[in-house]
Amino acid sequence: MYPVTIDMDETLAAEHLYTFIGAPKGTVNVCAMPDQEAGVVLKVWIAPGFPIEKIPSSFEGFEVKIEFRPRFKAGANA
Amino acid sequence: MSNNHVSGACNYAPANLPIVAPGILDVSPVNPPPFTIGYHSRQLDMNLGDPTVVDTGRNQDAAIFKLAMPQFVSSMQHNFYDTPASALPLAAGMVVEKVGRSSGHTQGRVISAVTGPLDVAYSAPQYNFSGIAYFERMFLVHGLNDRFSEGGDSGSLVVHTDANGVKHAVGIVVAGADDSSAPGGKLSLIMPIQPILTSLGVTLVSGHN
């Protein structure tokens, strides 16, 4: 499995998780996000079709949540 | 300075293209007549395509134009505050504010950095263009009480006030997404300003008019 580190800075943990997942560029993003229940969670944004079995349920002491990536749009009608 | 997708037409604006204010979308009988505020100068790399086959690592959505008549332009962000002369790195947890074309003056909090290339959908219909660009080192902002930004706010300067009450530029608004957990239902995507200033070789102007 992967190493567990307590008091890990959550942004660093997000970067570690991104590396751990090892997805092709552009298919996954990881964000350390505030969460009402857990305090901070590592959100893994995935592109449709990405195999979620590659993603752990917790990492370096943080709960991991998987979501489809939001659709970011730029422009006056975004 | 603004976004490439605002004043640079997603790489399709030719050099010296007039930039008008109010922008074309705001031309109406109830607004002041448009005038040429400047001329498109250049933009940073914004390579379209999939990051597995295209070098998107240097992508920045930023462009600059040369002011036509600097004496008639102010560095004030509407009448709320002056453009700071200094810039700081963006960081999760920062309280930030901006003044934008659509949502005006708003405050928010940086909730996270985004790890990995993130896709943003663009369109410049006047050039029959639409496409996806990927960016790294982006940040997410939630509004404090309502949305931080909305469509049409792109290019707004994002500012942070430090513990001594001094304002610093930290980013520019690039895009947004729907987010049911966010105040106002909007998640804002912010690009750090320091790398943009460095890449363009420019500094911020404060105290002008």
Provide the residue type at B83 as one letter: T
* Predicted structure pTM score: 0.93
Structure tokens at B209: 């008019």
Q: Does B68 touch chain A (CB under 8 A)?
A: no
Q: Does B139 touch chain A (CB under 8 A)?
A: no
B167-209, pLDDT tens digit by residue?
A: 999 999 999 999 998 999 999 999 999 999 999 999 999 999 9
Q: Does B3 touch chain A (CB under 8 A)?
A: yes
* Spatial separation of the C-alpha atoms in residues B150 and B100, rounded to whole Å: 9
According to DSSP, residue B53 is labeled T
| ipTM associated with this complex | 0.91
* Spatial separation of the C-alpha atoms in residues B206 and B52, rounded to whole Å: 40
DSSP characters over A20-69: HHTPPTTSEEEEEEEETTTEEEEEEEE-TT--GGGS-SEETTEEEEEEEP
Distance from CA of A10 to the nearest CA of B (A): 9
Is residue B173 within 8 A of residue B99, CB to CB? The reply is no
- Selecting from A34, A70, A77 the residue whose C-beta is nearest the C-beta of B177 gives A70
Q: Does B123 touch chain A (CB under 8 A)?
A: yes
- Which whole number is the average pLDDT over B98-103? 96
